[in-house]
Chains A and B, each alone.
Chain A
């Protein structure tokens, strides 16, 4: 599309404004997720477009991470490694659950039926996905609309920083059982929910785009 000069400038200004809004969304999400001014360790932003690449930033770098996520997310899917790591593992390493030192909460990733997913036994709609979420009778902290599904988070009152390996294993087991509860709920309806309980799990970031099919903005759907 060719735009006249004035309209072109306006279009560019609007695009900048929209990017600014999305950076603000991402920053607020990260700050609220990790709760503290100075969370320990590093957070990782991963992309998989040209092989797995992870950028590690000090976990308190909310603004830098938000800018980077929105910038990377313009043309590709970008994900947050929700568990913090003790050190910068380098671009080529995402690390494993054993490297996670702190966790902000528990989560689920509930895909819904549609052209973005081959699996047929998914909840038919996002409204149906809510029925699965209600399998945990505590309201989630928020529900992220990832574009083709919902990602509810149940955040902790304070960042769960593991004091030792046993505590980390306890968190892993709690996450597994938590998702097993949601999966059991989904089975009652004849649906399937993927297990995403691994502490090294990556999740989408509000303010970025889901590029499967037509780009859709990842948003905090609830509460507004």
Chain B
């Protein structure tokens, strides 16, 4: 039997999408009382905010607490996800009702504990995080969650010298030239793989004595990588 850590395990809510029978509304219904639950408004609001939220926070909202990736050393639990999301949403200026509405429409709030405990839990988190933001002036989730305006990426490619066929070992030259021509790829692509494979086949059978009359032997190891 594999070790306990190698076995697949699930959150109860992970199983939900695979059930064919719909839950009765009285059971797993999210109870965000008095917040004017309006999924359409929540989606519109998140659409407007999309460019101002980092992928990390968007993932947590749209993928649920389990999709939250904490920064190194930060809290990765469900509560950590909520702390991060709430402080960022407060930081971008949303009211408690707007945040509740997002929680009632997206997996961040419709899975896990909010799905079971609803409004009281969220009210507590919002109160704590709003106090923290008021006292500290920014989100404690991360410094980079409020993104600056993006800077355009540099255009064009740096010049790369073409592989001179004369540099390809002579016994391989004709074959690799043929491969690259027929595949319509640069000679580099075929040659890199072939030369590295040849190096691995030769292994320790051939080495270099850098100093004549000395027993210092160097066996070359060859690595290769392609970027295109």
What is A's interface to B at a CB cutoff of 8 Å? Answer: 28, 31-32, 35, 105-106, 136-142, 154-157, 160, 163, 166-167, 169-171, 173-174, 177-178, 180-181, 184, 220, 223-224
Bound CA–CA A37/B105 (angstroms): 37
Q: Tell me whether A106 and B15 are in contact in the complex, defined as CB-CB below 8 angstroms, given that A170-B28, A180-B21, A223-B1 are known contacts.
A: yes
Taking CB as reference atom, which chain A residue is nearest B13?
A174
Is the CB–CB distance between A173 and B23 below 8 Å?
yes
Q: Which of B2, B4, B19 contacts A177 (CB 8 A)?
A: B19
With a cutoff of 8 Å between Cβ atoms, the chain A residues found around residue B8 in the complex are: 138-141, 155
- Given the known interface contacts A28-B1, A155-B10, A223-B1, the answer about A169 and B27 at a Cβ–Cβ threshold of 8 Å is yes
Tell me whether B24 is interfacial, beta carbon within 8 Å.
yes
Near A by CB (< 8 A), chain B positions 1-50 give: 1-2, 4, 7-12, 14-16, 18-21, 23-24, 27-28
In the complex with contacts A170-B27, A170-B28, A160-B12 CB distance below 8 A: yes
14 pairs across A/B with beta carbons < 8 Å?
A137-B18, A138-B8, A138-B15, A140-B8, A142-B7, A156-B9, A157-B10, A166-B116, A173-B23, A174-B16, A177-B23, A178-B15, A181-B19, A223-B1
Judge whether B12 and A171 touch: CB under 8 Å: yes
Question: A173-B27, A223-B2 are contacts. A181–B10 as well, Cβ < 8 Å?
Answer: no
Would you call A32 and B20 a contact (CB within 8 A)? no
Give every chain B residue within 8 A of A167 (Cβ-Cβ): 116
**Of A28, A137, A156, A224, which contacts B12 at CB under 8 A?**
A156
Separation of A9 and B27 alpha carbons in the complex (Å): 60
Instruction: Give Cα A35–Cα B9 distance, bound, in whole angstroms.
Output: 11
* CA A106 to CA B9, docked complex, whole Å: 11
Which partner residue on chain B sits nearest A222 by CB separation? B1
Dominant secondary structure at the A interface? mixed
Chain A residues in 8 Å Cβ range of B23: 173-174, 177
**For residue A180, which residues in chain B have a CB less than 8 angstroms away from its CB?**
19-21
Beta-carbon nearest neighbor of B27 in chain A:
A173
A160-B13 Cα distance, complex, nearest whole Å: 12
B-side contacts of A184, CB under 8 Å: 20-21
B10 A136 Cβ-Cβ under 8 A: no
Chain B residues within 8 Å of chain A by Cβ, number: 21
**Which B residue sits closest to A140, measured CB to CB?**
B8
Residue contact A35 to B10, C-beta cutoff 8 Å: no
Q: Which residues of chain A come closer than 8 Å to B16, judged between CB atoms?
A: 174
Given the known A-B contacts A138-B14, A180-B21, are A170 and B4 also in contact in the complex, defined by CB atoms under 8 Å? Answer: no
Q: Is there an interface contact between A173 and B14, defined as CB atoms closer than 8 Å?
A: no
Contact of B4 among A32, A169, A173 (CB under 8 A): A32
Chain A residues, Cβ within 8 Å of B10: 105, 138, 154-157
**A154 pairs with B116, CB closer than 8 A:** no
Q: Are A220 and B24 in contact (CB under 8 A)?
A: no
Q: How far is the CA of A218 from the CA of B16 in the complex (A)?
A: 29
Bound-state Cα–Cα, A10 to B194, Å: 61
Contact B21 A32 (CB under 8 A): no
A158 to chain B, nearest CB (A): 8
Given contacts A28-B1, A167-B116, A224-B1, contact A174 B9 (CB under 8 A): no
Residue of B nearest to A139 (CB): B8
Q: Which chain B residues border A155 with CB–CB below 8 Å?
A: 7-10
List the 5 shortest-distance A-B pairs measured between CB atoms, nearest first: A157-B9, A177-B21, A180-B21, A32-B4, A173-B27
Q: Which residue of B lies closest to A170 (CB)?
A: B27
| A138 contact set on B, CB distance < 8 A | 8, 10, 14-15, 18
CA distance A116 to B80 in the complex (A): 51
Q: Whole-angstrom distance between the alpha carbons of A140 and B8 in the complex?
A: 7
Known: A170-B27, A178-B19, A181-B19. A157 touches B11 (CB 8 A): yes
Interface pair A170/B9, CB less than 8 Å apart? no
Contact between A181 and B21, CB atoms less than 8 A apart: yes
CB neighbours of B18 from chain A (8 A): 136-138, 181
Kindly list chain B residues whose C-beta atoms are within 8 Å of the C-beta of A223.
1-2, 7
- Minimum C-beta distance from A193 to chain B (A): 14
Query: Are B7 and A32 touching (Cβ within 8 A)?
Result: yes
Given the known interface contacts A169-B27, A180-B21, the answer about A174 and B7 at a Cβ–Cβ threshold of 8 Å is: no
